[in-house]
Chain A
Amino acid sequence: MEFKLQPLGDNSVIIELGEDISRNIQQKVNKVSSFLDEQSFDWVIEYVPGFTTVAVFYDPMKIKTDTLPYEQVCEELSSYLEKLDVEEGAEPRVVEIPVCYGGEFGPDLEEVAERNELTSEEVIDIHSNGEYIVYMIGFAPGFPYIGGMDERISAPRRKNPRLKIPAGSVGIAGKQTGVYPIETPGGWQLIGKTPRKLFLPEGETPSLLQAGDQIKFVPITEEEFQKWEENEND
């Protein structure tokens, strides 16, 4: 696998795996991430995947070396990364996200429709038939950076960001779509809401989604939303 190593301060190294957002580079990021999950270097504290990078945070005090820690880290990482390759045909995990579109759950649905000269139903249809890939998790706990939204339903961010966006809101910003896992301020156009929890602080992994996952948005009614929510809170 081709890569470049660059420092991010005195306790972290960034592994660069490419320059553009693509499925192929995402798979490399995933491969490096799984490698880091499985390795047994005692100096690795954690890693953070990006669109084309993986940052490795390390404990400089745990690196045995006569030189400086960074050099040793690069040497040890390189010897493994050189041998890594992405296998063909690794199937992504598919996660279904039920969404109740419009109404109070998606107050900007009509605006998104009007802007694109579509009906609300057409926006829902296009949004829920897209093929989406989670490129990375960041910004907030469990927040997925999702690629693959149809440009026919794109919409700019709101001029006045909302001070509070409820957890579970599904939004559109430019050519991106995403789900807010916790209540935050934000400027995305809200088209719906999911009853599924994306941030699970008590769970084995605190994020429902992971980089590399394929997402399917499934339209549900308000009634189904209520039922889902009751089950989630059980």
Chain B
Amino acid sequence: MIKITKPGLLTSVQDLGRYGYQKYGVIASGVMDATAHRIANLLVGNDENEATLELTLLGPDMEFTEDTLISICGGNLSPSVDGKPVKLWRSVLVKAGSKLKFGGCKTGCRAYLAVAGGFDLPEVMDSKSTYIRAGIGGFNGKPLQADDELTLGEPSDFATQITKVLSAELDGQKFAEMQWTIASEFTATPASKPKVRVMKGRQYDWFTQDSQMKLFTESFEVTSQSDRMGYRMKGPELLLEKEQEMLSEAVNSGTIQVPSEGNPIVLLADRQTTGGYPKIGQIATVDLPIMAQLKPGDKVQFTEVSHEVAQQLYLDREKQIHQLKQGISLKIKQESK
């Protein structure tokens, strides 16, 4: 069991999302940075869709009542166990009675904490994701609070193998880390003004030529009015050629819509199911994790990508993650011999 002693800024249970219910107005939810979440799960022998804790900017404090195999991926929120720093992007065995704390946010914005076996929580509409506004999913439909106690699920055989390898290295310490980590293509710290690839949106042609050009040449800043639903961006004004009314239709994760005052909004995990503002752009799925790790005040540069290339990037990334999965599995097999 894990007991939360301090909740942090916003810590919630999320998986890859709640699908099949958007036609009823139920949002998809799920993690903001799917890549970090998936890798965190792989490192503790879980299915990629198993729920993790999504920690935002200021992480929580927690206590472990049993020996637990964990991994922390994504943004660096300075994790430490009993005062000693813990490395990101690797399997870590934490002894019962240990305390995991998070300090300042060094890079990124969100970290993902996976535990072997996942969290023993009921699925609501086929997902463990917390949908805060409707009060469903996750831990009682709410962000985690002090004194919440999370029961863990049954670790996989694979997790048991990793645990065995790490147990041998504990040597009386409070935790043991795996020596090897994930390839840097997944773990690299994003540039100070990262580039995010964007396809033209469905109403791209409705905008003035000047606005179309500025979308791909100037930079945009994440404002403080940003959350899991969407990021409100500040930059050059993006204006329509002429006033045009649009009928509400589905939006996607990474949809960039522009209300009439001209500041774009990037829709993310907790986006509404449908929207009525013109869509100037659509972020390529592979670059959504970059967006998810931006915090208020960070700047970003949108660069144009074709629909064809975005699809290819998607397929390539999935292949990479598949290879990574096999790589981790192979590594564990070798080490448990």
Contact = CB atoms under 8 A, between A and B. Distances in A.
Given A53-B250, A136-B274, A139-B272, A48 B23 contact: yes
Contact of A50 (B133, B250, B272, B307): B250
A68 B312 contact: yes
Interface stretch (B3-11, B14-22, B60-68, B206-214): B14-22
Contacts of B21: 46, 141, 206
Contacts of B79: none
Contacts of B250: 8, 12, 14, 48, 50, 53, 55
A77 B29 CA distance: 27
Interface string A62-92: 0000001110000000000000000000000
A139 B24 contact: no
Nearest to B17: A45
A134 to B, nearest CB: 11
Contacts, number: 134
Nearest to B282: A9
A53 B23 CA distance: 12
Interface in A126-141: 136-141
A10 B23 contact: no
B24 A142 contact: yes
A60 interface: yes
B171 interface: no
Contacts of A60: 311, 314-315, 318
B239 interface: no
A47 B23 contact: yes
Contacts of A47: 23
Interface string B298-325: 0000000001101111110010000000
A10 B202 contact: no
B132 to A, nearest CB: 11
A6 interface: yes
Contacts of A145: 248
Contacts of B330: none
Contacts of B249: 14, 48, 50-53, 55
Contacts of A140: 25, 133-134, 272
Nearest to A139: B272
Contacts of B199: 7, 9-10
Given A6-B202, A11-B285, A137 B311 contact: no
B248 A46 contact: no
Candidate in A10, A55, A205, A210 with the most chain B CB atoms within 10 angstroms: A10
B247 interface: yes
A50 B20 contact: no
A137 B25 CA distance: 5
B26 A48 contact: no
A222 B248 CA distance: 35
Given A48-B23, A206-B24, A207-B24, A10 B307 contact: yes
B204 to A, nearest CB: 11
A-B interface, 3 closest residue pairs, ranked by CB to CB distance from nearest: A138-B274, A55-B250, A50-B249
17 contacts: A6-B202, A9-B254, A9-B284, A10-B307, A10-B311, A47-B23, A53-B249, A55-B250, A57-B19, A60-B318, A68-B312, A136-B274, A137-B23, A137-B273, A138-B248, A140-B25, A207-B26
Given A9-B252, A55-B252, 5 more contacts: A10-B284, A14-B250, A70-B311, A139-B25, A139-B272
